[in-house]
């Protein structure tokens, strides 16, 4: 589950999940959901793999989302069906991908960057919480 919150000229994402890997998966879905109006129309036809090193959970989340945003901009891929595995060295993940098609996909927000400002990943009594600010 995720929700957005206003942050000056930026956009905040508040993400909740039952476990840490689920939090990273839900954060990825949230990122693409705010970019693409009809995100549910994305049909993953291929798989993309990711490997990101890092030990600090908050920085790892930021790097993960930044890599996904880079993949969207550089390779023009929409991503979904995320599977994240965390380990002591960082994360490995796969995602379903589909080339962006302006005939089928409607961009809502042009996200420029994932920031370090206000970044947090916290364990809560009922699961995990993350907050991330993205530059629009």
What is the SS3 string spanning the chain? CEEEEEECCEEEEEEEECCHHHHHHHHHHHHHHHHECCHHHCCCCEEEEEEEECCCHHHHHHHHHHHHHHHHHHHCEEEEEEEEEEECCEEEEEEEEEECCCCCCCECCCCCEECCCCCEEEEECCEEEEEEEEEC
**Mean of the per-residue pLDDT values of the chain:** 94
Quote the pTM value. 0.92
Domain boundaries 2-135, CATH class: alpha beta
Q: Which tens digit of pLDDT belongs to each residue from 71-116?
A: 999 999 999 999 999 999 999 999 999 999 999 999 988 999 999 9
pLDDT at 120 over 70: yes
| Residue-range domain boundaries for the chain | 2-135
Average pLDDT over residues 46-73: 97
């Amino acid at each position: 589950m995720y929700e957005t919150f206003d942050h000056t000229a930026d956009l905040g994402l508040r993400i909740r999940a039952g476990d840490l890997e689920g939090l990273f998966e839900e954060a990825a879905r949230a990122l693409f959901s705010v970019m693409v109006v009809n995100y549910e129309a994305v049909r993953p036809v291929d798989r993309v793999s990711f490997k990101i090193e890092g030990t600090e959970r908050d920085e790892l989340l930021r790097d993960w989302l930044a890599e996904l945003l880079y993949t969207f901009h550089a390779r023009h891929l929409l991503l979904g069906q995320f599977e994240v595995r965390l380990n002591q060295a960082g994360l490995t993940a796969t995602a379903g991908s589909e080339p962006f098609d302006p005939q089928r996909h409607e961009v809502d927000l042009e996200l420029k960057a994932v920031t370090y400002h206000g970044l947090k990943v916290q364990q809560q009594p009922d699961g995990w919480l993350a907050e991330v600010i993205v530059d629009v």
